[in-house]
Structure 1
C-alpha cells in the first residue's frame, strides 16, 4: 500500500502542509526540531491512533491550536483507493474513511504503518506494555475477531479493577461475572497471540539472522500473564485478597510479555544499545513481512533519523531490502544519508514546519 497525497494541519509545528508522496522512497531532511519527525508521526497516527513519541497527548497540538487533522489518499496494490482521515478536537479522536465517520478500529485496519525510530529499542529493553502493543497490532491485522475479544477483556478488567478499588467486600456475586468474562476473553487472546507468534517466528529468525549473526541462534519466549498450568478464573478468585490490597488485577492477558533470547546473549542486559536497536529493527521488518504475506501488500515503512540510529552497512541493507519488496518508505535525516546516494528518491527539506521539495 502507499499514500499518494498527505495533508497535515495543526500537528506540533506543522501548521498546514500538503505533500505528494513518491510510491517508493521519500526523504525528509532538515535541522533538528524542524518538524520532519512530525511528518512521520502523522502517517503513524493514521495507522495506530497514537503517536510513537512519548509525552502528553496535548503536545500533539500545535501551540495555540485546538484541533489537528490528518488526511491522506491511500492506494492498495489490488487497485482499491480510499481517503483516510484522523482528527482531534479537544480530547476526542474522530476517524473518517471515504468521507464517512468510522470507528477508529476500521481506520487502523485500512491503513498499516510500521516505524523504526530512536525510541524503538524500548521494544527490547523497555516495559512489557511496548511489547504487547507490538504483538497486538500484528494479531489485529491477522485475526479479525481479535479487536472484539480485546475490548471484552478491557471492559471486564476495568469493571473488576473498579470493584477492587471501591472498598466493597469481595462478594462473589459481584466479582464472579466479570472474572468469568475476563478469564474467557483472556484465553481467546492468549490463543490468538500464540498463533501469531508461531507465524512470526520464522520471519524473525531470518530477519535477526541477517542483522545480528554474531549473536547466534535465538529463542522466542512468551508468557501469557498467568501460570501455564492453572485456569485463570480460579486464579482470579483465589487472588482477590491480594488484588484488593494492590487495587488492581495482577493476572490476565494484560500482563503478558514476550522476549528474544540469543545463544550468545542469554540475558537482555548482555545486549549493547546498538544490538537492541538492530533487534527492534529486525522485529519491525519481520512483522511487516508477515503482514505482506497475509494481506498481499507491504505496510508503509517509516524510518526516523536513520543515519544516527544505524551504521552505513545496516542502512544500506535495510534500504535495499525495502526497495526489493517495493515498499513505500518515509525516511528522515539531517541530510540525505549516504546509503541513499544514487537511489531514486523524492527529497523534501523541512524548516520551521514548512516543506519544500528538493528532488
Structure 2
C-alpha cells in the first residue's frame, strides 16, 4: 500500500501542505524544527488515531489555527483506492472514509503505517502501555472481532471502576455482571493476542537475527494481566476489596504485557540504549513483514531521523530490506542518508513548514 496524496493542515508548523507521492523511498530533508517529523506524524495519525510523540495530543494544533486536518489517498496493491481523513477542532477526532462519515476504527483498518523514531526504544524500555498498543494494533489488523471485543471490555471496565469509586460500597450484585463481562471478553482478547504473538515469533526471530546476531536466540514472553490458575471473573470477585481500596481494577486484559528475552541478554536491563533501539526496530520490521504476509501488501514505513538513530551498517540493512520488499518508505533527516545516495528516491527540502521537491 502507499499514499498517493497526503494533505496536512494546521498540524504543528505545517499550515497547508499537499504532497503527491509515488512508490519507493521519499526523503524529507532539512534543518531541525523545520517540520519533517510532523509529516510522518500526519501519516501515523491516519493509521493509529494518535501521534507517536508522547504527550502530543494538545501540542498537535498549530499555534493560531482552529482545526487540524489530515487527508490521504491510499492506493492498495490490488489496485483499490481509499480516501481517508481525520479532522479535529475540539477534543474528538472526526473521521471520514471515501467522503462519508466513518469511525476511527474504519480509518485505521484502511491505512497501515508503522514507524521507527527516536522514542521507539520505549517499546522495549518503557511501560507496558506502549507494548500493548503495538500488540493490539497488530491483532486489530488480523482479527476482525478484536475491536468489538475491546470496546465491550473497556465499557465493562469503566462500569466496574465507577462502582469501585462510589462514595458508598455498592452491593455485590452490581459488580457481578460487569465482572462476568470482563472475564468473558478478556479471555477472548487473550487468545487473540497469544495467536498473534505466535505468528509474529518467526518474523521477529529473523529480524532480530539480522540486526542483533550477537545477542543469540530470541524469546517472547507474555503476561495475560491476571493469574492463569483461575478464571478472571473469580479473581476479580476475590480481590474486590483490594480494588475498592485502590479505586480501580488491578487485573485484566488492560494489564497485559509482553517482553523480549535474548539468549545472551535475558533481562531488558542487560541491553544498551543502542540495543534497545535496534530491538524496537526489529519489532517494527517484524510486524510490517507479518502484516504483508497476512494482508498481501506492505504497510507504509516511516523512519524518523534515520541517520542519527542508526549507524551506517544498520541503515543500509534496513533500506535494503524495505527496497527489496517494495514498501513505500518515508524518511527524514537533516540531509540525504548515506545508504540512499545512489538509489532512486524522491527528495523534498523542508524548511519552516514549507516543502519543495529536489529530485
| TM > 0.5 | yes
1:341 alignment partner in structure 2: 341
2:48 alignment partner in structure 1: 48
Deviations 1:233-281 (A, max 9, x none): 1100010100011110001000000000011111111100000000000
2:107 alignment partner in structure 1: 107
Aligned length: 359
Structure 1 CA distance for aligned equivalents of residues 137 and 92 of structure 2: 22
Give the C-alpha shift of residue 294 in structure 1: 0.7
Structure 1 CA distance for aligned equivalents of residues 286 and 38 of structure 2: 25
| Aligned-partner SS, 2:34 | coil
Deviations 1:299-326 (A, max 9, x none): 0000000000000000000001000010
Structure 2 CA distance for aligned equivalents of residues 347 and 101 of structure 1: 34
Structure 2 CA distance for aligned equivalents of residues 346 and 218 of structure 1: 36
Runs of 4+ in 1 over 3 A off after TM superposition: none
1:25 alignment partner in structure 2: 25
**TM-score, normalised with respect to structure 1:** 0.99
Give the C-alpha shift of residue 56 in structure 1: 4.2
1:311 alignment partner in structure 2: 311
Map residues 234-253 of structure 1 onto 2, 5 A cutoff.
234-253=234-253
Give the C-alpha shift of residue 170 in structure 1: 4.4
Q: CA RMSD for the aligned pairs?
A: 0.7
Structure 2 CA distance for aligned equivalents of residues 219 and 316 of structure 1: 26
1:57 alignment partner in structure 2: 57
In structure 1, stretches of 5+ residues that fail to align are none
Give the C-alpha shift of residue 89 in structure 1: 1.3
Give the C-alpha shift of residue 66 in structure 1: 1.4
Structure 1 CA distance for aligned equivalents of residues 222 and 267 of structure 2: 15
Map residues 156-171 of structure 1 onto 2, 5 A cutoff.
156-171=156-171
2:66 alignment partner in structure 1: 66
**TM-score, normalised with respect to structure 2:** 0.99
Structure 1 CA distance for aligned equivalents of residues 75 and 327 of structure 2: 12
| Aligned-partner SS, 1:3 | strand
Paired residues of 1:22 and 1:345 also in contact (CA < 8 A): no
In structure 2, stretches of 5+ residues that fail to align are none
Structure 2 CA distance for aligned equivalents of residues 166 and 327 of structure 1: 52
1:16 alignment partner in structure 2: 16
Paired residues of 1:29 and 1:36 also in contact (CA < 8 A): yes
Deviations 1:311-344 (A, max 9, x none): 0000000001000010000000000010111000
